[in-house]
């Protein structure tokens, strides 16, 4: 699965930028609050408008403090998947239940330095695991290969039936790195700059998809 990130798109032309990647499985929407991460992007009003502007399921990645308070709003706004950070959530199990009750899939994200093992039981309540392969906050950073061990562990837990999750990776995915991530067991690839910095984002997306399938 491919999830282009609109963080690298032209924010004044979001409907067109979504249309440019019409073959995407999910459209990845990075919500940042300038507190959990040192950057400020978009929030609920934009997600509500985007929901009307595209049929691509929205994959909202909330890099915000206190997601327990804000995340269900994104589910109610029609996001397909709402991902919160385990480092920010106060009660991630209750939050997953709230998100599902509001009609969304629930995602849990781990920063590069956050281990997986302490959260295996929590992840039983989630539909998606988002492994960050850069420090969250900005597009265009370099892929951190060291997170692939975490992907392999997650893959094993899914393949042995201990968890039922989409394993998603986010950060530094491009034509040089996507094959390594695929080999480690990633199901869903987020790519921002590798898609939207290309002259033809739709073609770049399909090239990445092919590299992942090799």
Token pair for residue 111? Answer: 């920063």
Decide: is 170 part of the binding site for Zn ion (CB under 5 A): yes
Region 158-177 residues binding ligand DX5, contact defined as CB under 6 A? 170-173
Rounded to the nearest 10 degrees, the angle between the axes of helix 67-76 and helix 92-101 is 20
Q: How far apart are CA 132 and CA 17, in angstroms?
A: 24
Residue 28, annotated as binding a ligand: yes
109 is in an annotated binding site: no
- Residue 4 engages ligand DX5 in binding (rule: CB under 6 A): no
Looking at residue 135, what DSSP letter applies? -
Asked if 59 interacts with Zn ion (CB under 5 A), we say no
Least distance between ligand DX5 and beta carbon 112 (Å): 11
**Both structure tokens of 70:** 């804000």
Under rule CB under 6 A, residue 201 binds ligand DX5: no
Is residue 21 within 8 A of residue 27, CB to CB? The reply is yes
Tokens, residue 104: 């969304």
Q: Which of residues 24-53 bind Zn ion (CB under 5 A)?
A: 30
Q: Any contact of residue 61 with Zn ion (CB under 5 A)?
A: yes
CA distance 170 to 131: 6
Catalytically active residues are 30, 170
Binding site for Zn ion (CB under 5 A): 30, 61, 170
Known binding residues for substrate are: 5, 61, 137-140, 170-172, 192-193
């Amino acid at each position: 699965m491919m999830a282009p990130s609109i963080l690298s798109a032209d924010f004044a032309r979001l409907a067109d930028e979504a249309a440019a990647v019409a073959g995407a499985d999910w459209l990845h929407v990075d919500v940042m609050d300038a507190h959990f991460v040192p950057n400020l992007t978009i929030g609920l009003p934009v997600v509500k408008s985007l929901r009307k502007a595209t049929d691509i399921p929205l994959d909202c990645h909330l890099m915000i403090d206190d997601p327990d308070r804000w995340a269900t709003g994104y589910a109610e706004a029609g996001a397909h998947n709402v991902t919160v950070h385990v480092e920010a959530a106060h009660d991630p199990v209750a939050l997953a239940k709230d998100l599902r009750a509001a009609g969304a899939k629930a995602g849990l994200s781990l920063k590069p330095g956050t281990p997986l093992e302490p959260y295996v039981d929590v992840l039983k309540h989630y539909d998606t695991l988002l492994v960050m392969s850069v420090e969250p906050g900005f597009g265009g950073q370099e892929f951190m290969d060291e997170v692939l061990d975490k992907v392999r562990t997650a893959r094993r837990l899914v393949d042995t039936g201990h968890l039922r999750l989409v394993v998603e990776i986010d950060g530094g995915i491009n034509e040089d790195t996507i094959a390594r991530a695929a080999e480690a067991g990633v199901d869903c690839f987020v790519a921002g700059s590798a898609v939207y910095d290309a002259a033809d984002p739709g073609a770049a997306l399909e090239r990445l998809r092919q590299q992942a399938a090799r």
